[in-house]
């Protein structure tokens, strides 16, 4: 059965412990834990209260399962290319540290970024640009509506023979505008540039297919659309990084590191592929079982069906909000708006922060970002949540 033939998912609000009367349309800030994830955390805490019987392999097994699940989620056939990272900034720092090893890198080349990008995807490049003599090209968002197709065209035009690196998300973290990663990946390969994806605001709720995109690296925080705990994320590192330099020399990242009785026989060889980029103490005895439970649940729900649920949930609300003077990016395939994260542009006279506060007073949680309200629904949201959003915005605007 192809994804388009899958039945629409039912609302999963009973799988969460959100209080009655709370309208949480803000998964892009942080996802709530499902009951399954919450229970995994309680079980892990109880288990770790008594470390008797802990085996060396127990330091590694949880991360192995999580890497396999994340590889499945992004359609990668090689879990050994997945690393455990604490944050997006950590993963981007790995890329920055290894950019000097990229074949053909030379002074005068550019790093291409999109405008209004999340800071972790921007700050990473300042030092390496100074060291290597690179410059940053920022592709700004178009002023006119619709923005997505034009923004994608600008980005593709900015990638040329002088480009060393392209950093791009599947979905803009503020505006919900999609970027055509397959087209961007193809253009980058044509000119010999690396492509690095920050998948934090998409992976888990939007299908992301590494086999089609062929990026060099993907970094993803775990506490948003992966629906796991904070300070734990995942990263994919392609063949370009196989002989790279890690940020830290963790003992667990070396061959035979599970043989505790031989740890004093210092091992110069790393475990293969992305293993060298694992953060130190990556076992995360408490958090790793929670992330495992979350990834298992997402694979069962399937991102394509989460996307379809969010689309159907808000379909009737958008015309009503547009009548109030709001604007949003139209659907336009891989360069239009996403459905799990939508930037709603408020009328010019509206103060986004004041509107956000008015919503919070009515227990409606969304985020104000620049001139937009960022609305981010998930399977726990109901039509009542959407009705509350529309009701308050109608009164305020």
Domain range summary for the chain, segments of one domain joined by +: 3-34+302-396, 58-298
Question: Which of the four CATH numbers 1.10.287.370, 3.20.20.450, 3.90.1150.10, 2.30.40.10 does domain 3-34+302-396 have?
Answer: 3.90.1150.10
Do residues 16 and 378 lie in contact, with contact meaning Cβ atoms separated by under 8 Å?
A: no
Give 5's DSSP letter: G
CATH fold of 58-298 reads 3.40.640
Do residues 109 and 166 lie in contact, with contact meaning Cβ atoms separated by under 8 Å?
A: no
Distance of CA 26 to the CA centre of its chain: 15
Do residues 113 and 122 lie in contact, with contact meaning Cβ atoms separated by under 8 Å?
A: yes
Q: Residues for the chain: how many in total?
A: 397
Cα separations (Å) of 11 from 60, 279, 312, 340, 344? 35, 36, 11, 14, 23
Q: So what's the pLDDT on residue 7? A: 81
d(CA 344, CA 319): 12
d(CA 143, CA 73): 35
DSSP letters spanning 106-130: -TT-EEEEETT--GGGTGGGHHHHH
Q: So what's the pLDDT on residue 354? A: 96
Q: So what's the pLDDT on residue 351? A: 95
- The residue written with tokens 């001139």 in the block is 371
Q: b/e for 151-165, b at 16 or more Cβ within 10 A?
A: bbebbbebbeebbbb
Q: Which residues fall within 8 angstroms of residue 229, CB to CB, at 6 or more apart? A: 33, 41, 222, 223, 287, 290, 291
CB atoms within 10 A of CB 396: 17
Please tell me if the domain spanning 3-34+302-396 has the same topology as the one spanning 58-298. no
Q: So what's the pLDDT on residue 5? A: 65
Angle among Cα 13, 359, 348 to the nearest 5 degrees reads 125
Q: So what's the pLDDT on residue 288? A: 98
d(CA 310, CA 171): 15
| Tokens found for residue 130 | 């100074």
User: For the chain, how long is the longest CA-to-CA vector?
Assistant: 71
- Find out whether the peptide bond into 372 is cis, omega within 30 degrees of 0: no
CB atoms within 10 A of CB 303: 21
d(CA 81, CA 277): 10
Q: So what's the pLDDT on residue 1? A: 40
Predicted TM-score (pTM) of the model is: 0.96
* Mean pLDDT, 10 residues at a time, the chain of 397 residues: 68 97 98 98 96 94 97 97 98 98 97 98 98 98 96 98 98 98 98 98 98 98 98 98 97 94 94 97 97 98 98 98 97 96 97 97 96 97 98 97
Q: So what's the pLDDT on residue 3? A: 44
CB atoms within 10 A of CB 259: 11
């Amino acid at each position: 059965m192809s994804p388009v033939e899958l039945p629409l998912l039912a609302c999963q609000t009973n799988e969460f412990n959100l209080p009655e009367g709370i309208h949480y349309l803000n998964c892009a800030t942080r996802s709530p834990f499902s009951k399954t994830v919450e229970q995994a955390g309680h079980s892990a805490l109880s288990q770790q209260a008594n470390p008797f019987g802990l085996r060396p392999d127990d330091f590694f097994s949880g991360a192995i399962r999580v890497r396999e699940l994340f590889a499945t989620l992004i359609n990668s056939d090689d879990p050994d290319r997945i690393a455990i990272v604490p944050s997006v900034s950590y993963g981007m720092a790995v890329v920055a540290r290894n950019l000097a090893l990229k074949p053909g890198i030379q002074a005068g080349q550019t790093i291409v970024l999109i405008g209004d990008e999340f800071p972790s995807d921007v700050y990473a490049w300042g030092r390496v640009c100074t060291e290597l003599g690179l410059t940053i090209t920022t592709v700004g968002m178009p002023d006119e509506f619709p923005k997505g197709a034009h923004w994608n065209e600008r980005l593709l035009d900015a990638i040329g023979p002088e480009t060393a690196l392209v950093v791009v998300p599947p979905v803009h973290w503020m505006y919900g505008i999609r970027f055509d990663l397959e087209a961007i990946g193809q253009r980058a390969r044509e000119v010999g540039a690396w492509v690095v994806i920050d998948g934090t605001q998409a992976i888990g709720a939007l299908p992301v297919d590494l086999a089609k995109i062929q990026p060099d690296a993907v970094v993803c925080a775990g506490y948003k659309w992966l629906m796991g705990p904070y300070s734990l994320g995942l990263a994919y590192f392609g063949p370009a990084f196989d002989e790279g330099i890690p940020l830290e020399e963790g003992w667990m990242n070396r061959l035979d590191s599970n043989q505790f009785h031989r740890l004093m026989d210092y091992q110069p060889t790393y475990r293969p592929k992305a293993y060298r980029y694992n953060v130190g103490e990556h076992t995360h005895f408490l958090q790793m079982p929670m992330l495992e439970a979350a990834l298992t649940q997402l694979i069962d729900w399937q991102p394509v069906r989460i996307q379809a649920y969010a689309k159907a949930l808000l379909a009737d609300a958008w015309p009503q909000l547009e009548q109030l003077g709001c604007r949003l990016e139209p659907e336009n395939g891989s360069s239009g708006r996403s459905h799990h994260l939508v930037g709603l542009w408020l009328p010019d006279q509206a103060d986004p922060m004041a509107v956000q506060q008015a919503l919070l007073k009515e227990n409606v949680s969304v985020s104000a970002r620049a001139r937009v309200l960022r609305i981010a629904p998930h399977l726990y949201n109901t039509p009542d949540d959407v009705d509350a959003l529309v009701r308050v915005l109608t009164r305020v605007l």
